Chains A and B, each alone.
Chain A
């Protein structure tokens, strides 16, 4: 039963009632977006609303104010019964009853006198529509003339307004019952079944699809002592169910008309995919399964109790056991059962016999379980499973083909069905690996699954298209190509044996390399270029997922070339390649190159898919990050916002795509100093993530990192460190030890260690980050440079000048190639030179700092935290060149800004204070320096973080002493010197 209180369900429900009836289904579908459960819920309620009639009708609106607890439908007792005349028919006795209504034997008076079956559909269906739909098919139905089909003669409405159907009277029993009652052997069952297939084939040729094939609709009668199956109810299902939309499906399900056991995946899907003859093939497959094993592929009781979406999932996704396996399983299960019950004769030599149930099933087929298993294994397994394929394109094309394969088996010819295809195995593999996703080996399985499915899906789609467009032979050839690709994938996937896996990424990488090499060598020649492009793009994406950029890039470049040739410059497929390639370049931190590709992708996607397509949002989002990385936050923001706006509509609020956009926008705002707003966005994102799979370690890691950032900005370093540490662990668990996200996490952790003055830990973290980034990006990379700079800063702070100099030397070798002159590079470089701490370097750096500051003033808002940073940097450089008069106003401005943006107690504010104290002393403005120096010490000694206190307290005291000494106030200096000794001796505190 649904939750009551979803406001969203209420709103959609109410709005749906205000839309015209015909448009409701579509309205609900679009309003619910991807939320299928919600759609189901609303739909059920709409159906309930339609059916409710006068249920609970308000007493005040009702004549005499009577309470109606019962809906109209059930309040009215059936008025038709034996003796009633319905149209030209007089009802005799009822001969059957079901969820749909009642079947009577009836007397037809004219034009000829005969007995017929008259089926009265229960109220609650729109009689007019039912009859109209029947009328539309009446002509086709009249054309059906087959000994195994009971013809439908007439349809109409009773006086009470119920639709009825008149059919040839069949005095028979359901086919499964007939077979069991008469203990038909498997062979006889198969022969009977082929007649059913021929009947269905006949109907299909006349354009009639049954839609509701099940034993109850296939009755067996005896003609001259020979069993003759008759399929009844052709045209009825269509008239009473069509249009096959959610409404009718739910009505059916809600009322338990029939069971979903015989329903094909596409019928259960409700995707609006129209049902065709292949759905009947599926149902025939279920029937054959049941005739052979005595069971349906899915247990009816289980489906019924599963709940709607679970039922859909089972029918759509679960692979039923093959018929022979089913018998084996049942035998085992029941044996297990009997051992559990404590068979007292287990010590006797007699092996526990198969369960009575399975023996019964076998007995009804004139055989024993093990012989039955042998009979089913092979041909019959394959034939049944072919008919039960989830993908209808893989089923028998026609009922005739199905029957012929059964006949081939009966005459010992090789069957067409054959063992499961490579694609089938591939799909199975993907399924198996999905289970291991849950078990935890996320990286491997996730990548494999995506890769396998995209390839498989494409092969299928391409085979489909081709079949429609080209000659059959060519189609076969294409299919073979798809098959060969799929087979190769199976080979590749087969190589990944979890037991042989050493390192998670190692094996997957090897596997990808193996596959990429195979593509280059010859596999590609066997493929159409379209297939090759898709496969290469999938492989490239997998490389990207592993953080392996160079091979990712080369696969995507090749895929791009192929798609351009195949689809033209403006193809949607081209845009997809451009997008992924842009993403790779961005992750490689080449934002300028990435930007042009992404803009191109964006324009194609907007043109071909419309302005508000989810793919457009995806490209916008990556493009925004790209622009952001170029140091243009103001340009990035509207792009992020546009992506968010689209995603809030499609797929809609509450989806992970929206959470992603919220996080990205939050990052940007946070960086821009809008901390409060950023944290609001992050927490909205988190709420979404938790609701829809908060267990995803990647999302949680990201969330922890964002929290760490926020805490770091607030100066809560210990708490920030904790978050970073947790985030790092999660990332490592997920991605292994060489991945951009992991490097990023190390770097974040290092920065907070540094701020806590835990230099050893900081050094280790930065060294890890550097090593990892070098592996990922190569030596000549801005991100490596940034990390080196961090390391040097730590070394300097630690006092390890020699090591600092050596790392610096190494770094400077990288610099020229990175001097591309755009803003973030300038900043990094100047900060690097800053480390040199000598006048010469300062002179060198000054113009760069000035440029950076000018750019910041022009680009950043006044409340942007980077602005005082640039001011401080330039101030320090000037101070080092002894240009105190120039430095002082800059530092003062920086201090003012940092106080107002970050607060007086923020770490960075103290950095500026220290520099300003220096400058004031040099300028002889001691009375200005003194309060700042004391403030500095007060901040340090009052800090809650013990490590930081211990490291910085002596340093702060030394600054004070320096002030008094330069001021020539020795008594004050001496006083502080004593305190310094105390502090150094462990007597902490002011």
Chain B
């Protein structure tokens, strides 16, 4: 789904060249460059996400693929780029998406406690669904934190597959793994996260 950015947003937006330059710098091994990438990507995605959400129901389903790919087009442009470069972009995009979702979920929690007035939810069912979604995003975030500290590869797969919306094949290319391995890791990670969030059990 295509989002048309308003003119005001366009002004603040990072220029295509910025991101491309940063990606090239990262690829050339300039470590400091990667710290510049995330804020740019985050800004872009957050803006786009806000626009999307303003038009959606509270149990929003953020369309990650669309957002991330559109952000890519806007920030990098349609030019061909090596996979290694694109991988950096998507890693940053995934991280940004995660933050956006978590921020949103936290804000929802504040709204519920009366900290901020927003429009009324459509129905009780919607409210319940939204609340559940927010809680789950936070739970997912917490589980991801554990995943990150214990198994970086699993974590990266989840980030790219889920938050950046990459396909199995693209994730495999971005990580330099076989598609089969990505599939196995992804399936395992999903089950593990599902359990971490839902069972809460032993």
Contacts and interface: CB of A to CB of B under 8 A. Distances in A.
Contacts of A51: 194, 198
Given A2-B192, A44-B199, A48-B191, A10 B125 contact: no
A4 B162 contact: no
Interface string B55-98: 00000011111100000000000000000000000000000000
Given A48-B191, A49-B191, A58 B161 contact: yes
Given A4-B154, A44-B201, A49-B187, A56 B196 contact: no
B25 interface: no
Contacts of A570: none
A46 B187 CA distance: 10
Interface in B170-196: 184-188, 190-196
A278 B199 CA distance: 31
Most B C-beta atoms less than 10 A away, residue of A3, A58, A64: A58
Interface stretch (A68-76, A388-396, A584-592): A68-76
B101 to A, nearest CB: 8
Given A5-B151, A44-B195, A65-B65, A74 B132 contact: yes
Q: Which 5 A-B pairs have the closest CB atoms?
A: A66-B61, A65-B65, A48-B195, A49-B191, A307-B202
Contacts of B192: 2, 4, 45, 48
B151 A4 contact: yes
Given A14-B188, A59-B165, A60-B65, A3 B198 contact: no
Given A14-B187, A40-B202, 10 more contacts: A4-B147, A5-B151, A14-B188, A48-B194, A58-B161, A58-B186, A60-B65, A77-B129, A308-B202, A309-B202
A449 interface: no
B41 to A, nearest CB: 17
B195 A65 contact: no
A309 B199 CA distance: 16
18 contacts: A1-B195, A1-B196, A1-B201, A4-B150, A5-B150, A13-B187, A14-B184, A44-B202, A45-B191, A48-B192, A48-B199, A51-B194, A59-B64, A60-B65, A64-B1, A64-B61, A253-B202, A254-B195
B121 to A, nearest CB: 14
Nearest to A77: B125
A855 interface: no
Nearest to B62: A67
Nearest to A64: B63
A67 B64 contact: yes
A254 B191 contact: no
Interface string B16-40: 0000000000000000000000000
A236 to B, nearest CB: 23
Contacts of A75: 129
B105 to A, nearest CB: 10
A407 to B, nearest CB: 41
A85 interface: no
A17 interface: yes
B133 interface: yes
Given A4-B151, A17-B187, A71 B194 contact: yes
A48 B1 CA distance: 32
Interface string B118-141: 000000010011001100110010
Nearest to B133: A69
Given A4-B150, A55-B194, A65 B188 contact: no
A836 interface: no
A40 B161 CA distance: 27
A67 B162 contact: yes
B112 interface: no
B2 to A, nearest CB: 12
The B interface, classified by DSSP as helix, strand, loop or mixed, is helix
A55 B194 CA distance: 7
Contact of B190 (A55, A64, A74): A55
B150 to A, nearest CB: 4
Given A3-B150, A10-B184, A69-B140, A60 B166 contact: yes
Interface string A32-47: 0000000010001111
B50 interface: no
B187 A58 contact: no
Given A4-B150, A49-B191, A70 B136 contact: yes
Contacts of A77: 125, 128-129
B167 interface: yes
B63 A66 contact: yes
Nearest to A65: B65
A59 B186 CA distance: 13
Nearest to A51: B194
B68 to A, nearest CB: 9
A824 to B, nearest CB: 53
Contact of A60 (B61, B154, B165): B165
A59 B167 CA distance: 8
Contact of B64 (A17, A40, A45, A65): A65
A13 B195 CA distance: 14
Nearest to B128: A77
Contacts of A334: none
A46 B61 contact: no
Contacts of A3: 150
B47 interface: no
Given A14-B188, A49-B187, A67 B161 contact: no
B179 to A, nearest CB: 13
A52 B199 CA distance: 11
B110 interface: no
Contacts of A10: 184-185, 188
